[in-house]
Amino acid sequence: MNPCERWPRLWLGVFPTPLHRVRRLRDDASLLLKRDDLTGFGLAGNKARPLEFLMADAIAHGCDIVVTGGAPTSNFAGACAHASAVAGLDCEVLVADGPASTVPIRLARACGAAVRATGGDRALIEDAIAKRVIDLELEGRHPYPVPRGGATPVGALGFASAAFEVHAQLEDQGVDPTRATIVLPVGSGASLAGFIAGSAAMDLAWRVVGVSVSRPAPQMASHVLALAAACSALMGSRPATSGAFTIVDRTGDVLTEERADDMGAARFMRESEGILLDPHYGIPTFEVAWTMTATAEQPVVLWQTGGIPAAVESLDAGNEHERRVLTPSGSM
């Protein structure tokens, strides 16, 4: 039984999201797409999963206002404001580099959230959230702090549950889950942490690969492991070990020749599979997953997490680059 089902949950998305083979990319491709771009909750993509648990937890604790933050481009920040509105809670979004009129910030404002520019370093957002929570308590409010990306043990339950979901889908499709390689993008680490916690709860040793786009692999690995352990403690299940996942480091490759090549991959996915890849998470994760189809145990499951605002923003840049041909050897 999925232990996450014992936890309060405010349904926001439509689950399970589809799991299907790529259709036109390559005839023999053993690449499966897990379509969290289709969670059905606004522009939230994969972020609908942690938010279902976080919103229910806020309500269960009698909170009346959610305080979160992030970069102006943070999908999570916009989705958190959206979810708060649906949950009947006020919301404040603290933005490091504000003021900005990105899609996530516009969504947050449209959902009635107060958007505050904190100035300074993005890494200090957690401190700014903690300070704002104290101020709100002094005002007699009951704030619910949500760190960037929803990376709390409760938030991680979203992807712990997703591990159960995709396991059942693979079995339904006649695929042996123990032979699968799951490839996920990693920003805050909430998704990967939850996923390995859920995998450990099932006692399932499939191969899990995180593609880290913001923090170096060793730092991210210890963060993910600690968060996963806290999530396992909530579920009352055994914790994941460091051998349960690997992290591929894709940090710091912005505006390089390689990135220009990535845009070709984005165009290819758009025009063959009909999928919009965002440059921060979707493109590097696709590239890693695609390369793995040549070497890994089959199938490779690419977690397509959404990122539609950034995908749309990058459309013009993508047009400048040639379409690249994906060869049967798996290289691009």
Ligand X SMILES: Cc1ncc(COP(=O)(O)O)c(C=O)c1O
Q: Which residues bind ligand X (CB under 6 A)?
A: 45-46, 75-76, 149, 185-191, 278, 281, 305-307
Minimal distance, residue 197 CB to ligand X, in Å: 13
Minimal distance, residue 325 CB to ligand X, in Å: 26
How far apart are alpha carbons 146 and 166 in whole angstroms? 26
Kindly tell me which of 36 and 136 has the beta carbon lying closer to ligand X.
Answer: 36
Kindly tell me which of 69 and 189 has the beta carbon lying closer to ligand X.
Answer: 189
Kindly tell me which of 136 and 162 has the beta carbon lying closer to ligand X.
Answer: 162
Alpha carbons within 13 A on the beta-carbon side of 97? 10
Kindly tell me which of 10 and 186 has the beta carbon lying closer to ligand X.
Answer: 186
Q: What is the DSSP letter of 219?
A: H
Instruction: Provide the 10 A C-beta neighbour count for residue 151.
Output: 22
Q: Report how far Cα 192 is from the mean position of its chain's Cα atoms.
A: 8
Beta-strand (E) ranges in 58-118?
65-70, 90-95, 114-117
Contact at 8 Å (CB) between 31 and 293?
A: yes
Phi, psi of 212 (to 5 degrees): -85, 125
Minimal distance, residue 137 CB to ligand X, in Å: 27
Residues 6+ apart with CB under 8 A from 262: 279, 283, 284, 287
Kindly tell me which of 156 and 235 has the beta carbon lying closer to ligand X.
Answer: 156
At 279, the amino acid letter reads P
Minimal distance, residue 115 CB to ligand X, in Å: 17
How far apart are alpha carbons 332 and 318 in whole angstroms? 16
Minimal distance, residue 7 CB to ligand X, in Å: 18
How far apart are alpha carbons 37 and 54 in whole angstroms? 20
Q: Report how far Cα 106 is from the mean position of its chain's Cα atoms.
A: 20
Kindly tell me which of 16 and 149 has the beta carbon lying closer to ligand X.
Answer: 149
How far apart are alpha carbons 73 and 279 in whole angstroms? 12
Minimal distance, residue 191 CB to ligand X, in Å: 3
Minimal distance, residue 131 CB to ligand X, in Å: 23
Kindly tell me which of 186 and 300 has the beta carbon lying closer to ligand X.
Answer: 186
Minimal distance, residue 74 CB to ligand X, in Å: 6
What are the CA-CA distances from residue 214 to residues 186, 197, 288 (Å)? 8, 22, 16
Kindly tell me which of 53 and 136 has the beta carbon lying closer to ligand X.
Answer: 53
Q: Is the peptide bond before 185 cis (omega within 30 degrees of 0)?
A: no
